C-alpha cells in the first residue's frame, strides 16, 4: 500500500478540496486561461514581459508554475516552503518599469502578488467546474479558503486574500478599473495563441492553437474577453470542447496522467498510501 502514519501530508492534505480538484486534467487549460487573465493587469504583465524569458523558453514558465502549484498541493510541508522561498528570493531581486508612469517598481508588491494569486485560483476553479467537476457552493468556498494558505507562501498575509467566492467576486469588482488591453497584454496573447516552438513540436501548433490556445482564451470571463478584444469561441462551443477534452483525458488512468509534468501527485500517493489517491469521491462534505 505504501505510506506511513508519520508521513507528511503537506500544507493541505488528502482531505482537502484542493487535493482532489488540482488532479483534474482540466487544470491544464485553467492554468493557461489564468495567464490570459493575468495579462490584463498593466503592471503585472509589464513585470512578466520585462523579466521573463518565456519567448526563448516557451514551455519553461508553464512548467515552473505547474511545479510550484504541484509542490504546494502534493509536496511535503518542507518541499512547499523550500519552493516558495526560491520564488520569493527571485521576486525580491526583480524590478520592472511602469509603462504608463515610467516608475520602477518591485514585482513582489503585495497588490501584484494578490492579483496573480486571484487570477490563478479563479481560473482553476471556474474552468475545472465548467469542465464538469462537480462542487457545491460550500466546497468552492472551502477551496478558496484553502488557497489562502498557499498565498502566504509567496508573501501575502492570509487576511488580505479572498477566502470565498463572494470575497473573490468583490475583489474583481474592485480591481476591474485597473485592467486593460496593452501592448504587453498583446505580447502575451500572441504567445499563448502560438508559442514559438521549435523542432518536431512546431508541427503540432495548429492543433495546439485551436484546442488549447483559443479554447483557454474562450474560457475567460466575458468581461475579460471584452477587455482583450479578440474573438472567441461561443460559450456553448467552448464548454462543449472543454468537456470533450476532459472526458478523453479521464480515459487515461490517473497515475499515468499525473506523471506529467512533475509527478507530484504520484509521489504523494507513494508517501501517504493509496487512500491518498485524488478523486472527486473524496471531496469533503462541505
Specify the pLDDT at position 199.
Answer: 81
Strands 95-97 and 104-106: antiparallel
If DSSP codes are grouped into helix, strand and coil, which group holds residue 42? helix
Q: Tens of pLDDT along 148-179?
A: 999 999 999 999 999 999 999 999 999 999 99
Whole-angstrom distance, CA of residue 280 vs CA of residue 282: 5
Specify the pLDDT at position 60.
Answer: 73
Whole-angstrom distance, CA of residue 103 vs CA of residue 109: 13
What angle is formed at CA 67 by the lines to CA 165 and CA 262, rounded to 5 degrees? 125
pTM: 0.94
User: Is the previous residue joined to 59 through a cis bond, with omega within 30 degrees of 0?
Assistant: no
Specify the pLDDT at position 58.
Answer: 67
Q: What grid cell was written down for 192?
A: 499563448
Whole-angstrom distance, CA of residue 248 vs CA of residue 109: 41
Which string of DSSP letters, residue by residue, matches 59-111?
THHHHHHHHHHHHHHHS-HHHHHHHHHHHHHHHHH-EEE-TTT--EEETT-HH
Specify the pLDDT at position 20.
Answer: 98
Q: Which residues touch 183 (CB under 8 Å, ≥6 apart)?
A: 99
Specify the pLDDT at position 285.
Answer: 86
Specify the pLDDT at position 48.
Answer: 92
Ranges of residues in the chain with a pLDDT under 50 are: 1-2, 5
Distances (CA, A) of 185 to 44, 76, 161, 173, 200: 10, 35, 25, 20, 28
Sketch the domain layout of the chain as residue ranges.
Answer: 17-282
Amino acid at each position: 500500500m505504501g505510506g506511513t502514519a508519520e508521513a507528511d501530508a503537506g500544507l493541505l492534505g488528502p482531505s482537502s478540496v484542493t487535493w482532489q480538484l488540482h488532479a483534474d486534467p482540466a487544470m491544464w487549460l485553467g492554468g493557461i486561461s489564468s495567464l490570459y487573465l493575468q495579462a490584463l493587469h498593466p503592471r503585472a504583465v509589464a513585470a512578466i514581459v520585462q523579466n521573463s524569458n518565456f519567448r526563448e523558453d516557451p514551455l519553461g514558465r508553464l512548467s515552473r508554475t505547474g511545479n510550484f502549484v504541484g509542490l504546494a498541493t502534493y509536496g511535503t510541508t518542507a518541499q512547499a516552503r523550500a519552493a516558495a522561498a526560491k520564488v520569493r528570493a527571485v521576486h525580491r531581486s526583480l524590478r520592472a518599469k511602469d509603462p504608463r508612469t515610467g516608475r520602477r517598481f518591485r514585482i513582489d508588491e503585495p497588490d501584484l502578488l494578490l492579483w496573480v494569486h486571484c487570477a490563478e485560483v479563479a481560473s482553476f476553479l471556474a474552468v475545472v467546474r465548467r469542465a464538469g467537476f462537480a462542487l457545491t457552493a460550500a466546497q468552492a468556498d472551502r477551496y478558496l479558503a484553502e488557497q489562502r494558505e498557499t498565498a502566504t507562501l509567496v508573501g501575502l498575509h492570509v487576511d488580505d486574500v479572498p477566502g470565498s467566492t463572494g470575497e473573490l467576486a468583490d475583489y474583481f469588482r474592485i480591481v476591474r478599473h485597473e485592467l486593460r488591453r496593452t501592448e504587453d497584454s498583446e505580447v502575451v496573447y500572441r504567445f499563448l495563441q502560438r508559442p514559438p516552438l521549435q523542432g518536431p513540436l512546431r508541427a503540432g501548433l495548429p492543433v495546439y492553437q485551436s484546442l488549447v490556445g483559443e479554447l483557454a482564451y474562450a474560457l475567460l470571463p466575458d468581461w475579460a474577453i471584452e477587455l482583450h478584444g479578440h474573438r472567441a469561441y461561443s460559450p456553448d462551443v467552448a464548454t462543449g470542447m472543454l468537456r470533450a477534452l476532459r472526458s478523453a483525458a479521464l480515459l487515461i488512468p490517473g497515475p499515468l496522467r499525473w506523471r506529467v509534468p512533475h509527478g507530484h501527485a504520484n509521489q504523494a500517493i507513494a508517501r501517504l498510501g493509496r487512500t491518498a489517491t485524488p478523486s472527486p469521491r473524496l471531496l469533503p462534505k462541505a
